[in-house]
Structure 1
């Protein structure tokens, strides 16, 4: 048993039926958080007109939401160990629901940022690490874990890919405010389904929470993404913010080492970065979510601002990505039996890069809406193929007592990728809304995809959690 496991805190495993029931609220939670990150993309014009702001203003709100998640995921993962996975999950849902309600009635951009970007972001940072921790703890063998993560990642991917369609339908039929009311209703349903959720490990309130480390990590990540956002306005400010972000993150790493040398538990153990397979998996996760959210924002903004499509039409076009992502994600269990995790991740990046190439080529040669479908389908298929194995590779690399830390780090890296995707692609596109800007933004995403492919090549040929976390030792 881990030194962090309380006396008498032997993990208990629910039966198969209970585990399957637990997947419903976990998958729904991942769905609604991913939905929140992408559904605003089709409401850009409606929100900007209604609140008297600009496309850039809405982009800032979207990016701050993703940034808050990325900045607070690591502290959220640590709190889940201290307070308990279920308690953090329910608390996060309550905060998220309050933010959704506030967003629905917001009179201006400032209140929308408070509700959507801040409260929903904080709520997500509290509730998402328990989703991945509980999935890892409840499903211990490769096949069942691949199936479980396939369901969770399918829900998350569909939430991100179908967000434009669902958001477009609600916006066109009622208003953009109703989309936030929809989120609040789904959160209420998740809370009801979660009341009987089983937590295999008891909380350990004796564990130390590194407050200074949490502040430093959050500040460093915020400064970094703020620097990216400043790219189209002030290159000097961008450079200053990026440099400040790098310095604060270096300060954070030095603080972590100091805490470890003093015998105290830091926010994030440096041991998490000593597992080569996990490190490579984290890089692929970052690239995957950067591509997903970058594509979502770029294509949605281009369709509405250049082609003149409304929210519903934009959402319908994104159906191709949703179908591809759902089909390949739900096949995760079968794919994991036939192919190594490394092969699936590599194939996913190849499909995604090919899809981006098709998107650029067909859109340049055709003004019709269906020119987007083949490329989006390929991107969806590619992302669905690789999202689950990347998560499985990372989560399965560590024992139970480190699941809180690695889950927080994993989700932070993924959401940082989402933030960069929206910020980088959005900055390029908004700087010059035209075909050339669209192609440039998508080209950047293709380069990221090639980088992810190159990283996946170095993954071990056989990996993916063949040994349950409870029987493994932490990497030294």
Structure 2
């Protein structure tokens, strides 16, 4: 699969890119579309806002916790094989969710099966993109398309999900996911090829996988437990930190013994990649935190239905689309650092407007300017952050860095839903306006941290290291 002399991708390469982009789209869509179905799901399954928040957050944290092991398994089992297996598991989870009679089955289908499926299929998408699109220009365009579709899936999820839920049922939104997954499997059968043969004899660090997953899950559960008491929250957070510390001790011990760990510590010695990972985490925390808070506020406080809530997010979708369409032109004229720094600044301004206008004015329109500006900011910086991280390592470490990158991004999403959702849920009954403002302010603080972090990125493009480094 090659590029043509005109700079366009060949037909087979285009089909592969469409499959990759759709895969990222549907996984991001699955993480945000339930936000507009809070009322419908709660009434149908006999639960409340916290129950739906738990389902959404568990889906995101399962993805984050298993993304690193998922990326590592691709070296052993094969990238395409893991991608197809992940798609199949995701599709089964969507069908189970569509038929769920209660919250427990919904958690099994959506949080567990779809979460594990996503962890299996997303790392191969980014690894294969890096391996198939060999030169920096084509790879940047491919990552741009995939990241843009991920952003669109996240911000348009409420709109599409709201339309489906209002026109048919919230269950139909999961059937939509299953149909998209089936289309990706059919599309990728002939167009997606793994240029590197898998190595079944390659060892897999089971202990590292268990420790890393357990540590991340405990951290997120600690944030979710804020309403259940300070000591429980602190206990879970401390336990998570200790388990993660044990994970790094285990990794170092395996490296000293000459064994292959789940995650090489060399990944954390790249200054540019570390900064890029922090910006990715902050970006996706803002995406999911904003989506959950605004969706829950509109439904529970304002009484909007799914389609009305989703329609409000059209502003974010339009902003992100406009920004994404100009991403390639911006990349030719501005350094990746500049785009990320500007993206954070614009997004924080959008969050400020979302708080101030809604506080002083009634109706729907006060939500529109802030959400539109947030879309513009996100569209400008999502792709550069991914490209900085992925391009910082050679072919031999793509499995590890892809898993780590997706883990950090999805951890940001889960933290966004947990942190902002918990702040909102704590006061949505007595002081909904105050809870709304505090939750979005917390998201904006994370945006400021991301902005300050991006200032330390190099002013030029991230260097591409030789293979094997």
TM-score (norm 2): 0.96
2:30 is the alignment partner of 1:36: yes
Q: Give the equivalent residue in structure 2 for 1:418.
A: 413
Matches of 1:458 and 1:106, distance apart in 2: 47
**Structure 2 unmatched runs, 5+:** none
The CA deviation at 1:324 is 1.0
2:302 is the alignment partner of 1:307: yes
The CA deviation at 1:36 is 0.3
Match of 1:233 among 228, 232, 253: 228
2:181 is the alignment partner of 1:162: no
Q: Give the equivalent residue in structure 2 for 1:5.
A: none
Matches of 1:334 and 1:146, distance apart in 2: 12
Match of 1:112 among 106, 115, 120: 106
Matches of 2:43 and 2:326, distance apart in 1: 41
Q: Give the equivalent residue in structure 2 for 1:9.
A: none
Give CA-to-partner distance per residue, 1:32-85, whole Å, 9 cap, x none.
000000000000010010001111001000000000000000000001111111
Give CA-to-partner distance per residue, 1:257-315, whole Å, 9 cap, x none.
00000000000000000000000000000000000000000000001111111100000
Question: Does the Cα contact within 8 Å between 2:396 and 2:468 map onto a contact in 1?
Answer: no
2:448 is the alignment partner of 1:453: no
Give the secondary structure class of the aligned counterpart of 2:275.
helix
Matches of 2:155 and 2:219, distance apart in 1: 26
Match of 1:148 among 133, 142, 149: 142
**Structure 1 unmatched runs, 5+:** 1-11
The CA deviation at 1:333 is 1.6
Match of 2:126 among 132, 156, 160: 132
Matches of 1:319 and 1:14, distance apart in 2: 35
Question: Does the Cα contact within 8 Å between 2:395 and 2:468 map onto a contact in 1?
Answer: no
Question: Does the Cα contact within 8 Å between 1:143 and 1:336 map onto a contact in 2?
Answer: no
Matches of 1:292 and 1:143, distance apart in 2: 27
Give the secondary structure class of the aligned counterpart of 1:195.
helix
2:284 is the alignment partner of 1:282: no
Select between 227-236 and 389-398 the one with higher mean Cα deviation: 227-236
The CA deviation at 1:473 is 4.8
Distance 1:353 1:396, change over 3 A: same
Match of 2:19 among 21, 25, 46: 25
Matches of 2:376 and 2:259, distance apart in 1: 44
Matches of 2:138 and 2:227, distance apart in 1: 46
2:321 is the alignment partner of 1:326: yes
Q: Give the equivalent residue in structure 1 for 2:67.
A: 73
The CA deviation at 1:89 is 0.4
Give CA-to-partner distance per residue, 1:151-202, whole Å, 9 cap, x none.
1011111101011011101110111000001100110001000101121211
Matches of 2:71 and 2:165, distance apart in 1: 34
Q: Give the equivalent residue in structure 2 for 1:3.
A: none
The CA deviation at 1:366 is 1.1
2:389 is the alignment partner of 1:398: no
Match of 1:195 among 189, 194, 206: 189
2:404 is the alignment partner of 1:409: yes
Q: Give the equivalent residue in structure 2 for 1:84.
A: 78
CA RMSD of aligned residues (A): 1.2
TM-score (norm 1): 0.95
Select between 332-341 and 116-125 the one with higher mean Cα deviation: 332-341
The CA deviation at 1:332 is 2.1
The CA deviation at 1:463 is 2.1
2:194 is the alignment partner of 1:222: no
2:426 is the alignment partner of 1:431: yes
The CA deviation at 1:14 is 7.9
Matches of 1:36 and 1:429, distance apart in 2: 22
Question: Does the Cα contact within 8 Å between 1:35 and 1:159 map onto a contact in 2?
Answer: yes
Matches of 1:205 and 1:370, distance apart in 2: 56
Matches of 2:103 and 2:58, distance apart in 1: 12
Matches of 2:438 and 2:360, distance apart in 1: 16
Distance 1:300 1:179, change over 3 A: same
The CA deviation at 1:322 is 0.8
Matches of 2:367 and 2:170, distance apart in 1: 24
Matches of 1:305 and 1:160, distance apart in 2: 21
Question: Does the Cα contact within 8 Å between 2:219 and 2:236 map onto a contact in 1?
Answer: yes
Match of 1:367 among 362, 371, 381: 362
Give CA-to-partner distance per residue, 1:94-117, whole Å, 9 cap, x none.
000000000000000000000000
2:158 is the alignment partner of 1:178: no
Q: Give the equivalent residue in structure 1 for 2:208.
A: 213
The CA deviation at 1:472 is 4.3
Q: Give the equivalent residue in structure 2 for 1:246.
A: 241
The CA deviation at 1:329 is 2.0
